[in-house]
A and B are shown apart, each in its own frame.
Chain A
Amino acid sequence: MKSSKTVLLLMVGLALSWGLGLTAAVAKPIKIGILGPMSFTQGEGHWNGATMAAEEINATGGITVGDEKRLIELVKVDTNEFLSIPDATNAMEMAVSRHKVDFLMGGFRTEAVLVMQDIAMESKTIFIGCGAAHPKLCTRVMDDYDTYKYWFRLTPINSSFLGKVDFILLGTAGAIIKQQLGIEKVKVAIVAEKAAWADPIVAAAEKTIPEKMGMEVVGVWRPSPVATDCSAELAAIQRAGAQIVFTTFSSSVGLTFAKQMGELKIPAAPVGINVEAQKSGFWEATNGAGNYVLTINTYAPVKITDKTIPFYNKYKELYKEAPNYTAGTHDAIQILAQAIKNAGTIKADNVVTELEKIEFIAASGKVKFDKSHDVTWGPDYVTALGTQWQDGEMKCVWPYGWEGVTYEGSVPFKLPPWMVEYWKK
């Protein structure tokens, strides 16, 4: 009797452990490492976007992999890349070797992402870039496909396309100034932070604006990316009689410049790239002085696709701020989930093949990766946006009839009223 009880207990124990083991095997989650400077807005965007997508997919049971459903487990990887590139390298090493993540996404500073990319490629882990714009990250795929095929860039569009959008915005503002103020030759002041990524834009602007756009460049100013005062630059710009200030800012100087320009009511339209103006906290941080700043952006409450407004609103509701471009991790996880489903496995090589084929309607537009694994830019794909602060609200003002594209909810670009008043005199 005693022995039969023991046997029964053993059987139950075995069955339970086998069953539990089976359950564990079924539920083994897919680990995705989210890389970003987590104490900063960009890292928060990475993490929030990814969290939102993971929760949505997990609520449906997880990612379909062959015949099973697997949940997503996110691993927060603080790269601290704003302050230290070695920190980013160490964090990446830890994600790959200690946390043994299956996929990676995020990254922000090109200098850090280039190193992190190498680590990911060495371990043959798919890495979807959601932050760095430098073309080199993708030209590497063309130069050495076998090594770099695990890299894809989803957001932002690369810096060459950013440059194109930048000049389109400038041309749009120039045309409106000509039309509304009757100014024949619009004067442009080029103001770009002194950083490597801004140099090609400045060089192109100096050549393109007078030669191809029929406008006049009245000067080029290159403040430090962390300048705390731009009043001298603004006084000089006003003296030069500029009607447009063509900005290229990704650092804190963008906030300082916009704030002081608005407070001094400089009679010119700020147009270009100002990463600080992409954040919903910009209005409050400038005490409203950032009114009429126009910048390239990725998300706005307009209908780029059916997914854009629901994503934008839900993100804002959950995190009390508008999504910035690093929140593209939301799209990245959804695209990855689709590619895994199509591949029926999480094996990197199979998923790469599926990602190369995919055409996915995301919140930022229709995503298709080109031969260099870069996100395709164009009227039928991801276009990027031009957003302008208008009385406390971030409004989409571009595309507005560009190549037949106007997203529902977009409004026309507005000139600052003090500028109109000044130049009409």
Chain B
Amino acid sequence: MIVDILIDGLIKGSVYALLAIGFSLVLGVARIVNIAHTALYMTSAYLIYVGTKMMGLPTIVSMVAAVFLTILLGLLIYNYFIRPIQEHEAAMLISTIAVAMMLQEVFLMIFGGHYLGVNPLVRGYLTVLGVRVTNQHLLALGLAIIVLISTRFFLMKTRTGLAIRATAQDREVANLMGMNVNGVAMITMAVSVGLASIAGAIVVPLVTVEPTMWMHPLVMMLAIVVLGGLGSLEGSFVGAYILGFSESLVVFMVPMGSFLKDSVALSIMILVLLIRPEGLFGVSFEEER
């Protein structure tokens, strides 16, 4: 049973990590509270559905097109719904909730409440230590690691990454130093939405495409980012695996209570916060002030 829990937790954690990294980046690094992040992930999913099932395009072509179109939509949302109120976190929060609801209603209107499916990039399964794992899940695991490394590299080793970090540290000083802070924020948003749509492309074949599919991942993302510590990509990564393993543990240890897996995961988050309020890898609030 331990092997089952380990493998299943690892796979689940990877899927969560893939979803959480973009959210963590935009929230932790650019200080943009984008509740519509998972609604953009849903947009990517629907666009892939349109490309593959309605227009008959190859899956990979649909995925690439979906990523670009979602980034474009993300930038429009940033420009009209986030940037004008970026200094007011509460207003930004409410504005992005409204955007997410709007997207939900638009998809409900166009596609109805039907449960739709998207073809996986890779079919079949592998047996790992006696546990069957779909190849698409294994792909999600591999991509989560690649995305984390790439994002880390982008932030730490490129001039744009440096600009993003500098703007995140002190927007005003960065502005005084001659940096185009609006441009930097736009790039951060584009990267974040790009990560959401890539997550959409990889994760969507594993789940069901429907107009409320953004809600559950949003709750998990918030939990992961808070658990891992705001502003820490590594924290989000570790947080994702903690929640992944805890969910698997619940299903295997208490089968009758498998519906409780989300609640248990969120309880762990609360427990960690009670012991370490800044999260696992976060900067302590005292220090931040």
Interface string of A158-188 (1 = CB under 8 A from B): 0000000000000000000000000000000
Residues of chain B within 8 A (CB-CB) of A232 are 4, 8, 12, 247-248, 251-252, 258, 261
Which candidate, A38-46, A349-357, A368-376, is the interface stretch facing chain B? A38-46
Contact B251–A236 (Cβ < 8 Å): yes
User: Which of B8, B113, B205, B257 makes the CB contact (< 8 A) with A222?
Assistant: B257
The answer to whether B234 has its CB under 8 Å from any CB of chain A is no
The answer to whether A281 has its CB under 8 Å from any CB of chain B is yes
Contact B15–A229 (Cβ < 8 Å): yes
Given contacts A220-B256, A222-B257, 13 further A-B contacts (CB under 8 A): A41-B114, A44-B112, A222-B255, A228-B207, A228-B213, A228-B217, A232-B12, A232-B247, A235-B131, A259-B208, A263-B124, A264-B133, A286-B117
A-B contact pairs, 12 of them (CB 8 A): A39-B113, A193-B259, A228-B208, A229-B206, A232-B4, A239-B4, A259-B208, A263-B125, A263-B134, A266-B132, A281-B114, A287-B120
Residues of chain A within 8 A (CB-CB) of B205 are 287
Residues of chain A within 8 A (CB-CB) of B120 are 263, 287
Output the nearest chain B residue to A41 by Cβ-Cβ distance. Answer: B114
Interface string of B173-213 (1 = CB under 8 A from A): 00000000000000000000000000000000111101011
Residues of chain B within 8 A (CB-CB) of A263 are 120, 123-125, 134, 136
Contact A220–B12 (Cβ < 8 Å): no
Contact B113–A82 (Cβ < 8 Å): yes
Contact of A235 with B108 at beta-carbon distance under 8 Å, contacts A223-B259, A287-B117 already known: no
| Most chain A CB within a 10 A radius of its CB, from B210, B257, B259 | B259
Chain A residues with a Cβ closer than 8 Å to the other chain, count: 41
Contact of A284 with B208 at beta-carbon distance under 8 Å, contacts A222-B257, A226-B216, A236-B4 already known: no
Contact of A41 with B112 at beta-carbon distance under 8 Å, contacts A265-B125, A286-B117 already known: yes
The answer to whether A221 has its CB under 8 Å from any CB of chain B is yes
Contact of A264 with B125 at beta-carbon distance under 8 Å, contacts A41-B113, A219-B255 already known: yes
Residues of chain B within 8 A (CB-CB) of A228 are 206-208, 213, 216-217
The answer to whether B53 has its CB under 8 Å from any CB of chain A is yes
Contact A259–B1 (Cβ < 8 Å): no
> Which A217-268 residues have a C-beta within 8 angstroms of B?
219-224, 226-229, 231-236, 238-239, 252, 255-256, 259-260, 263-266
Contact of A235 with B259 at beta-carbon distance under 8 Å, contacts A39-B113, A252-B115, A265-B125 already known: no
The answer to whether B280 has its CB under 8 Å from any CB of chain A is no
Output the nearest chain A residue to B257 by Cβ-Cβ distance. Answer: A222
In the complex, A221 Cα to B248 Cα: how many Å?
13
Contact A229–B4 (Cβ < 8 Å): no
In the complex, A226 Cα to B113 Cα: how many Å?
13
In the complex, A193 Cα to B256 Cα: how many Å?
10
The answer to whether A30 has its CB under 8 Å from any CB of chain B is no
| Most chain B CB within a 10 A radius of its CB, from A220, A235, A265, A276 | A235
Output the nearest chain A residue to B12 by Cβ-Cβ distance. Answer: A229
Contact B132–A285 (Cβ < 8 Å): no
The answer to whether B163 has its CB under 8 Å from any CB of chain A is no
The answer to whether B278 has its CB under 8 Å from any CB of chain A is no
A415 to chain B, nearest CB (A): 19
The answer to whether A140 has its CB under 8 Å from any CB of chain B is no
Output the nearest chain B residue to A237 by Cβ-Cβ distance. Answer: B255
Contact B132–A236 (Cβ < 8 Å): no
> Which B94-120 residues have a C-beta within 8 angstroms of A?
108-109, 112-120
Output the nearest chain A residue to B213 by Cβ-Cβ distance. Answer: A228
Output the nearest chain B residue to A231 by Cβ-Cβ distance. Answer: B8
User: Which of A39, A233, A276, A287 makes the CB contact (< 8 A) with B119?
Assistant: A287
Residues of chain A within 8 A (CB-CB) of B257 are 222
In the complex, A175 Cα to B148 Cα: how many Å?
51
Contact A285–B208 (Cβ < 8 Å): yes
| Most chain B CB within a 10 A radius of its CB, from A232, A234, A264, A266 | A232
| Most chain B CB within a 10 A radius of its CB, from A229, A256, A260, A276 | A229
The answer to whether A37 has its CB under 8 Å from any CB of chain B is yes
A296 to chain B, nearest CB (A): 18
In the complex, A231 Cα to B53 Cα: how many Å?
25
Contact A223–B115 (Cβ < 8 Å): no
The answer to whether A109 has its CB under 8 Å from any CB of chain B is no
Residues of chain A within 8 A (CB-CB) of B216 are 226, 228
The answer to whether A194 has its CB under 8 Å from any CB of chain B is yes
B129 to chain A, nearest CB (A): 11
A250 to chain B, nearest CB (A): 12
A210 to chain B, nearest CB (A): 16
User: Which of A224, A239, A284 makes the CB contact (< 8 A) with B53?
Assistant: A284
User: Which of B123, B206, B259 makes the CB contact (< 8 A) with A194?
Assistant: B259
The answer to whether B11 has its CB under 8 Å from any CB of chain A is yes
Output the nearest chain A residue to B1 by Cβ-Cβ distance. Answer: A239
Output the nearest chain A residue to B206 by Cβ-Cβ distance. Answer: A229
Residues of chain B within 8 A (CB-CB) of A266 are 132
User: Which of A223, A284, A285 makes the CB contact (< 8 A) with B258?
Assistant: A223
Residues of chain B within 8 A (CB-CB) of A239 are 1, 4
Output the nearest chain A residue to B205 by Cβ-Cβ distance. Answer: A287
B238 to chain A, nearest CB (A): 20
In the complex, A234 Cα to B207 Cα: how many Å?
15
Output the nearest chain B residue to A236 by Cβ-Cβ distance. Answer: B252
Residues of chain A within 8 A (CB-CB) of B37 are none
A199 to chain B, nearest CB (A): 11
Contact B117–A259 (Cβ < 8 Å): yes
Contact B255–A221 (Cβ < 8 Å): yes
In the complex, A40 Cα to B213 Cα: how many Å?
15
Contact B208–A236 (Cβ < 8 Å): no
B100 to chain A, nearest CB (A): 15
